[in-house]
Every structure is written in C-alpha cells, then in structure tokens.
Amino acid sequence: MGLGWDETVYVSQVSPQAPAAFFSAPRTRGVSVLVAPVAAWSTSTPLLRVYLALLSGLGLYLALRCWRGLFPARVLAVGGALFASLWVTLFYGPQAMANLWVALGALAAVGCFLRAGADRTRRAPLWGLAFSAALMALMRPTDAVWAALPMLVLPVAARRFRQPRLLLALVGGLVAGAAEWVVEAYVSFGGVAERLSRGSDIQGGLGWNFAVDDQLRSLGGRSLCRPCTGAMPHVAVYAWWLVLPVLAAVGLLVAVRARRPLPTLLPLACATTAAVPYLFMIDYAAPRFLLPAYALVAIPVADALAWLVTAPSAPWRRLATVLLAVGLAGHLAVQYVVLERTVDRATASHRDWARTAAALHREGVRPPCVVASHGTDVPPIPIAFYAGCSSAATKGHNANTTAARLAGTARRTPVAVLTTATGRAPSYARGWHLVHLDGPVYAYLSPLPTAGSPGR
C-alpha cells in the first residue's frame, strides 16, 4: 500500500523523494518528526511501514506498562488486545498519521497521572506524564487539550490530586509538545487564533454538528467520510460500537463496587472529552478521529469483561463466557473483513496515483517539476510526491501560489496541470499541450523551457 494523501504531505517534509508539500493550518509537524529516522534517508515505503508498525506496537506496550499496579496484568493485556485488533488501529498502525500516536500518548498519560497521584515519592510517573503529554501535543495540540481536560480539572476538584507537580508535569509536557506549533502559527499564519480559525474553516467550521451517525457510516471502511452520505453499513459492522458504552458502564459499576472508581472513571472521562469534538463539532467523520477514545475505553471494557467471566458464584458466568467468546470471535472476523476491503481500496487508489506519476515521467515531466490541478478532484499533492515534483494550487485550502507565479515558473520549469477530459485549461495554461495520463486523468503540459533553462 503506497503512501496516502496526508502521508505524502508529512513525509515530504523530510524525504529526499520530493520537495516539501504545502503545510496547511490544521497539520502539525509531529508525524514528520516521527518518520524522519527512516524517511530522511530512504524512499522505501515498505521500510517505512515496517518501522512504523514496530514503533506503534512498542508504543502500545509502553503505554500499557504505565498502568501496571492499577489493574491486573490480564486486564491490561485484554485491553491492549481489544484496541490493537480494531481494523482502524491495524490500518493506521503502520501509517504516517497522527491520531494513533495521540491515542497512545493519552493512554500513557492517564496511567502515569494516576500512578503519580497515588505515590508522591516516585518521579518516574511524573516524567512519563510529561513525555506522554508532549507526545500528544506534538502530534495534535488541540486533540491533546481535549484528551487532557479531565486531568487538568481533577487537581482542582479532588484533594488527593492537589499536587503542583502533577499540573506542572502535565502542563509542561503540553506546552513543550505544542511549542513548535505555536511558533509556526506566528511565523506562517499570523498567530494562534488565526491558525485555529483557518483550521476551523478547512474543517468546515467548528460548531454544533451531530456527527454520531457519520462515525457509524465511516466504520464500514471509509477512511474519510466527507460528505458523509449513503446508507449505513450492516449492523454487524458497528455492533461493537454500540456495545462499547454499555461495557464501559459495567466496568465503572464494577470499579465502584470494588471501591476503586478513579482508575476507571478518569480514562472514561478523558475518552469522552477526546470524542466530543469529533462527535458533536464537525460535519464529517473519519474512524481514526476516535482512536484516542477507543484506547482509553479499552481498559475499563477489559475490566468489565474480566468480571463477567470470573465473578464468583454468579449463575450466569458460564453463559456469559460462551456469549463473550462467540461475540469476540464474530467481532474479530468482521474487523478483518473490513480491514481487508479498506486496504484493497486504499492500495488501488494509491496505485492510480503511481501510474499517473509514471505517465508524467513518460511525457518528460521529471524533477525539478511542478504538478498542479485546476477545477478537478484529481489530487495534485500525492501525484506530485510520487513523481518527485513540487505541488501547487492557486485555489482552495492548499493554495500556495498564484496564477501569475505559476505561469512564470512554467517558463523555466516543467509544469503539469492535472484535469479531466472535459476540464478547461486555466488562463495561464491556454495553448499548452493536453495529454492523456491514466484513466480519467489528463494534463496540460507547459511548453519546453526557453533556451538556457533546464529542459523537460
């Protein structure tokens, strides 16, 4: 599976394969930092995938270790297995995307916060809290604040957690992780408020939007559901999503009865705040948005499952064990069917981009070069990356140049404007040669550069 659209943006910031793509307001540099140890010197996608798969697996293991002593090891193992077996976790584990790393940071941060609050003599949980908060903020600052909100409130609401060091570690980590994003906001976007405003515009405007049904539709394997229309997937695909809050409530009841409510209540509270903006504040959906909520809910759910199958003297224990075994087997089967279909669709799309890039090369568009698009859904950014070119846009959220600049660039560098068979050439490309590249994709190619400039 080749690199996706968002991945090419992040990887291009550090990769020698192509010039850095335009970095819009909602994006953060955390993923580029994450992939740099491999992408900075290798253009191998399989190597990058293996690296990220191993790193995300190690990240989940370390995040679960932060919970040792708060829950039995078997509960942590089951919780990790439940989270890791979701198709969305497996799909994004080896990808250069931020959401899974926000999830792992949130899971580790809550565990470290609870352990640091319970034992004031140890410093390791405090350092773990600071590092986990920094990881979340480095990957996606706004998501980090939403996920950390209950931890920011708890030291004020609960006497046991009124420890300045807890707030110092948490806030210090968030500030350290978000520092680069804040600096870039002032350098490139006119300030934090302006960057948030532009990000909101790109996301369709943040406000009250009921997106629960959109998230249900996306669970059928739609990596981006925008606009999120069409029929719901089969109930078997999203049944686990409906059962999840029920099992979380059971886990909370078990914790209250055992007089240990906080280790269950806090991750559930953080999961809720992490999910709120993606369930009620945007008008589209992507299953990866809720990965932090799934990671945090996994441990209370695992605790509930452990209680259901081990409760002493419960007449329904055997029946519950059988039902859970059958339900989990069916759940896993559905997850892997959705995963396979999602990977097949993504792979086909990415191969289309690779074929279009190869066709550009056959037409003589080779680095250094520029790929743009005009009035079409053909994405210039991933195709430009695959071709080793710069990407350009004069309109839309990724606009990074003007028509006059692009016309000037075409006098010294090969430029290809992607379009369709019925697409009209932009004003600056009138008279350029129209060629068919692949499938529905055509391109207007700039004339040969003038004498003395690099040839196409």
Nearest partner of 277 among 193, 206, 197, judged by Cα: 206
| Segment (H or E) for 52 | helix 45-65
**pLDDT confidence band for 230 (50 / 70 / 90):** confident
Q: Read off the amino acid at residue 159.
A: R
Could you tell me the end-to-end alpha-carbon distance of the chain, in angstroms, rounded to an integer?
A: 30
Predicted confidence at residue 120, as pLDDT, reads 78
Residues 311 and 317: their CA atoms lie apart, in Å, by: 7
Reading the block at residue 79, the tokens are: 């919780």
Q: How far is CA 350 from CA 77, 91, 198, 343, 382, in A?
A: 35, 15, 28, 10, 9
User: Which ranges of 68-163 would DSSP assign to H, the alpha helix?
Assistant: 73-84, 87-92, 99-118, 124-139, 141-157
Task: Please state the domain extents for the chain.
Answer: 5-310, 355-445
DSSP per residue, 290-345: GHHHHHHHHHHHHHHHHHHHH-TT-TTHHHHHHHHHHHHHHHHHHHHHHHHHHHHH
Strand, coil or helix: 389: coil
Cis, peptide link before residue 227, omega less than 30° from 0: yes
What distance in Å separates the CA atoms of residue 392 and residue 365, rounded to the nearest whole number?
Answer: 15
Chain-centroid distance of CA 44 in Å reads 21
Q: How much is the pLDDT for 243? A: 93
Look up tokens 């070119």; give the residue: 389
Most confident of 157-171, 224-238, 342-356: 342-356
Nearest CA to 147 out of 292, 299, 244, 290 is that of 292
Average pLDDT over residues 259-269: 94
Q: How confident is the model at residue 163 (pLDDT cuts 50, 70, 90)?
A: confident
Q: Is the pLDDT of residue 17 over 90?
A: yes
Strand-pair category, 390-392 with 441-445? unpaired
> How much is the pLDDT for 452?
46
| Mean pLDDT (the chain, rounded) | 91
Which amino acid would we find at residue 147?
A: A
According to DSSP, residue 71 is labeled B
Question: Is 50 exceeded by the pLDDT of residue 455?
Answer: no
What average pLDDT does the segment 231-246 reach? Answer: 92
DSSP string for residues in 146-215: HHHHHHHHHHHH-GGG--HHHHHHHHHHHHHHHHHHHHHHHHHSSSHHHHHHHHHHHTT--S----HHHH
More confident residue, 358 or 455: 358
Question: How far is residue 290's CA from residue 219's CA, in Å, rounded to a whole number?
Answer: 11
Sheet holding 390-392, edge to edge: 390-392, 370-373, 415-419, 441-445, 433-438
Mean pLDDT of 217-222: 92
Give the mean model confidence (pLDDT) for residues 147-154.
Answer: 94
Q: In the predicted model, is pLDDT for residue 379 greater than 90? A: no
Q: For residue 9, what pLDDT is reported?
A: 96
Count Cβ atoms within 10 A of the Cβ of residue 440 and give its class: 0-12 exposed, 13-18 middle, 19 or more buried. Answer: middle
In whole angstroms, what is the distance from residue 108 CA to residue 127 CA? 11
pLDDT higher than threshold 90 for residue 283: no
Structure tokens that stand for 424 in this block: 């009209």
- For residue 414, how far is the Cα from the chain centroid? 34
Say yes or no to pLDDT of 317 above 80: no
Are 322 and 133 spatial neighbours (Cβ–Cβ below 8 Å)? no
DSSP 338-379: HHHHHHHHHHHHHHHHHHHHHHHHHTT--SS-EEEE-SSS--
